[in-house]
Structure 1
């Protein structure tokens, strides 16, 4: 008799545990989707490119989405995200060369070679390149760079539709994610 009473309790406990596991898995899946869609560099860069294309379509300013040296498309009729081409984590670098010496140390009495030696001493473990003309140092600041591939249907200046496969390079090297280069 005691085993008959215990069986339904175990079944109810098992059902409760399974429900908790299912809810936990669904929560993890939703949290992962939200993270990669809105907080991870993949999601952020995809949104920057979509906003840039949307601004072109609405004939609005694209300045906040790209570097000033990038020329806009005439018009984008259709676009489709294809894939992420590359994701890299880069460290900012500073090059100490003759120009930097002229700005920082020329009037101090130090020679150029002494200047380069001092730079090396002040930055142990962060030197990327050393030669007689320059010292390149990694800074502690890092930035993310993502390359995204899109299929675009654009119009040229004559109004003709043209299909283009486009590679957008987006990074946050200056603090905010912006399109730094467009290859097509």
Structure 2
């Protein structure tokens, strides 16, 4: 039963017009539509289970694959990081200082001849000062212009300057003479690889055995095929 929209006269659900006032009635719709509307108005937690939206559940296999992928990516990133030229060069210094701490042989970490600290108590990497790559094709030219720019105060004239540069570079197997005359010296840099300069904080002992702190710069390169410390000096 329903009531007339105009005079509240009781009417059958199917009535289109009021039998008392004659006013047209609104359609009540089908019972199927009504039940559907009621269901749509219900909160999600009160819906029948068959009407709830279907949700995809993670299976154990999916979870395992996801974890494996994350681990693979993490391991790959770590491997790439520790295999960069800079990290390999830095590892050479760390291994050298660690060997000094334990009184072990350190000759395999050095390409240059320099004295080692007698007793390293502790060390800490501070920063990478610079890094360079070499392809064996760099050309070094020394002439009047370079003499005027940098070496005038160390040499009395151009001839002395060129001779100093020749003595400095041509005693090193990494350099090859291309041209030499009274006005110019041209040398090829044959080095292939990488070089880095690192700053470290070191705690060592002095002659009296007392702890002292030093800032030390290490130069490392792999021109011989593997990374070696070529020199170090206190900053």
Question: Fold match, TM over 0.5?
Answer: yes
Matches within 5 A, 1:24-43: 24-37=69-82, 39-43=83-87
Structure index of larger Rg: 2
1:61 is matched with which residue: 89, 105, 125?
105
User: How far apart are the structure 1 equivalents of 2:104 and 2:67?
Assistant: 46
CA apart distance, 1:168: 1.1
User: How far apart are the structure 1 equivalents of 2:231 and 2:198?
Assistant: 11
2:186 is matched with which residue: 131, 135, 147?
135
Q: Does 1:45 align with 2:96?
A: no
| More helix, by proportion | 1
What are the Cα deviations for residues 106-159 of structure 1, in whole angstroms up to 9, with x where unaligned? xxxxxxxxx849xxxxxxxxxxxx9954323354x6211122221110011221
CA apart distance, 1:22: 6.0
CA contact (8 A) 2:112 2:231 kept: no
The gaps in structure 2 that reach 5 residues or longer are: 1-49, 142-161, 167-177
RMSD after superposition: 3.6
CA contact (8 A) 2:194 2:221 kept: yes
Matches within 5 A, 1:56-95: 56-92=100-136
Worse-matched range after superposition: 89-98 or 65-74? 89-98
Match of 1:180? 230
Q: Does 1:8 align with 2:22?
A: no
User: How far apart are the structure 1 equivalents of 2:184 and 2:201?
Assistant: 44
User: TM-score, normalized by length of structure 2?
Assistant: 0.52
User: How far apart are the structure 2 equivalents of 1:153 and 1:34?
Assistant: 31
Where do 4+ consecutive residues of structure 1 move more than 4 Å? 3-6, 18-23, 93-99
Higher relative contact order (CA 8 A, sep 6+): 1
User: How far apart are the structure 2 equivalents of 1:95 and 1:87?
Assistant: 19
The gaps in structure 1 that reach 5 residues or longer are: 100-114, 118-129
